[in-house]
Amino acid sequence: MALLHRAEMHPTKFALLAAWLPARAWYQGPAAPDLAGVAAYRFDDPAGAVGVETLLVRVGDGPIHQVPLTYRGAPLDGGDDFLVGTTEHSVLGRRWVYDACGDPVYAATLAAAVLADAGQAEVFFEVDGRREHREPTMAIAGSGPRGADVPAVGTVRDVVGDDLTLIVTDSVELAVVRRLDGGTASDGAVLTGTWSGQPSPLPLAYARRR
């Protein structure tokens, strides 16, 4: 379960991404993008400490980019190369926002989603002391058997940030599709997604055991 707050962020996550995205090798678009959100999904951190959200964004009629992010209350040890920026959250205080591909919490939750069809987190808003359910903006499905054993991911050993971003961990190799145009593929178990305007499942990520 992901518990969100009716809160303000300064700068917003989209403002952070607009400054960060143009320097990525896999980004296709203008140098000063006006980003629009297409859909999003979240994973649960079992420890409840790290927010794990994947945004689908686009600029105008350009390609949809997939941007996994993690939100932390303190810097990620060794994560400077993956820092998107910091923001002030009106409820939680300062948050460190990372390209999730360099975050072991994201790697573990993505592996579970692909290899064991763990699904996305249910999202609730905290409003005046009560919880309100938020309907998901997209559906995801992993091709691995639901509930299958997933090896402990351990440390993120390497990240190769190309159109298909490769994440190498102690036990699993993951590949995140950055541009969702159907033209990038890999082998292994696959996570697919559908959203408004995209009724046919598209690959989002791949995983294979090492």
In whole angstroms, give the CA distance from residue 197 to residue 105: 30
pLDDT one-digit tens code per residue, 57-97:
999 999 999 999 999 999 999 999 999 999 987 666 689 99
- Report yes or no: 42 and 31 within 8 Å, Cβ to Cβ: no
At residue 121, the pLDDT reads 83
At residue 162, the pLDDT reads 84
Whether 109 has a pLDDT exceeding 50, the answer reads yes
In whole angstroms, give the CA distance from residue 96 to residue 85: 6
Q: Which of 51, 50, 53, 13 lies closest to 136 in space, CA to CA?
A: 53
Is the model more confident about 198 or about 186? 198
SS3 170: coil
Report how far apart, in Å, the C-alpha atoms of 138 and of each of 39, 48, 72 are: 6, 23, 24
Q: What is the pTM of this model?
A: 0.92
pLDDT band for position 184 (50/70/90)? confident
The backbone torsions φ and ψ at residue 136, rounded to the nearest 5 degrees and listed phi first, read -70, 150
At residue 1, the pLDDT reads 46
Q: Which of 18, 20, 75, 15 lies closest to 50 in space, CA to CA?
A: 75
SS3 content of the chain, % helix, strand, coil (to 5): 15, 45, 40
